[in-house]
Amino acid sequence: MPIILDGNRVRDQILHNLRPRVAALAASSRPPGLAVVLVGNDPGSQIYVRNKVKACADLGIASESLTPLDSITTEELLALIEDLNQRPDIDGILVQLPLPPQVDSRRVLLAVAPHKDVDGFHPMNVGNLVAGRPGPRPCTPAGIMELLRQYQIGVAGKRAVVVGRSDIVGKPMALLLLHAHATVTICHSRTADLPAVCREGEILVAAMGRPAMLTADYIRPGAVVVDVGMNRISDPIEAARIFRNSAERMATLERRGSLLVGDVDPFAMHEKAAAYTPVPGGVGPLTIAMLMSNTVEAAESAVRRAACPAVGG
């Protein structure tokens, strides 16, 4: 039987390890502070932000949600970000994407001070990742590395295949695996003979956002499969195909109107992988946990800078 890589268990361990660090910061100066900027009324983003705020409250991190109207201009949003950059009680700034079409998202993300960029998206922090220097790492890839560590899955010397080349997951995931001494291949929509390339992977990370795209033909027997996909499907025919007419899943679809499925065929993972992340309950819980970790690290760096201003965080 394959090992199911339980993201909820790893998330709980990450948060458990953060609690004494948050308590120490609160006792010596102040609790860490996270500001979340949510523009507009996207339901998915609202749920995600609520989960972040709840995680902060559970840990003792001070959180602040800013919800400007979706008619905000780029310049107005830049002014809001600059105010947060200057506030000493805010250690981390997170701008929830997507932003409205009239807002220049690139300018907004660049405006976040690099030492407060808890998403790890600022070019300076991307450069730190490439160079192997300290700095905040993108939350989902960092969470995956923590998952592999806690399950004692060796990375050094392994062949790893990452399917997807986004700036948020695919590229930083490949770099983190490379820094851990894996031999890494990045695949994408134009990769020739994609199934054959994927089968080379002793570690296979799927992050392309297409429901159940990777079938058994893509999985090397005994591979470790990390499914980053979070796709909602509502078509009964598609659901019946992916979940093999499972009576339980079809009843859930009828009751809820949709089902969550990853980028890898769930039955194929179970049949061919030595270990895999389920969807839901695999990679998903780790993203917010690593956001909390980045925020705590940013607060600790702020304390060090205050104690010794000549030394960077």
Catalytically active residues are 52, 96, 119
Nearest to 273 by CA among 153, 100, 119: 153
How many secondary structure helices (H) and strands (E) does the chain include? 12, 11
Note whether 186 and 171 are within 8 A (CB). Answer: yes
SS3 253: helix
β strands within 96-189, DSSP E: 159-163, 183-187
183 burial level (CB within 10 Å; 0-12, 13-18, 19+):
middle
CA distance to 65, 155, 175, 294, per residue, from 180 (Å): 36, 6, 9, 20
Please report, to the nearest 10 degrees, the dihedral formed by the alpha carbons of residues 229, 232, 235, 241 taken in order: 30
At 202, which amino acid appears?
E
187 burial level (CB within 10 Å; 0-12, 13-18, 19+):
buried
Mention every residue, 6+ apart, whose C-beta is less than 8 A from residue 168: 121, 138, 140
Q: How far apart are CA 241 and CA 173, in angstroms?
A: 30
CA distance to 59, 221, 243, 260, 262, per residue, from 251 (Å): 36, 31, 12, 13, 19
SS3 92: strand
The sign one gets for the Cα dihedral 113, 306, 130, 210 is negative
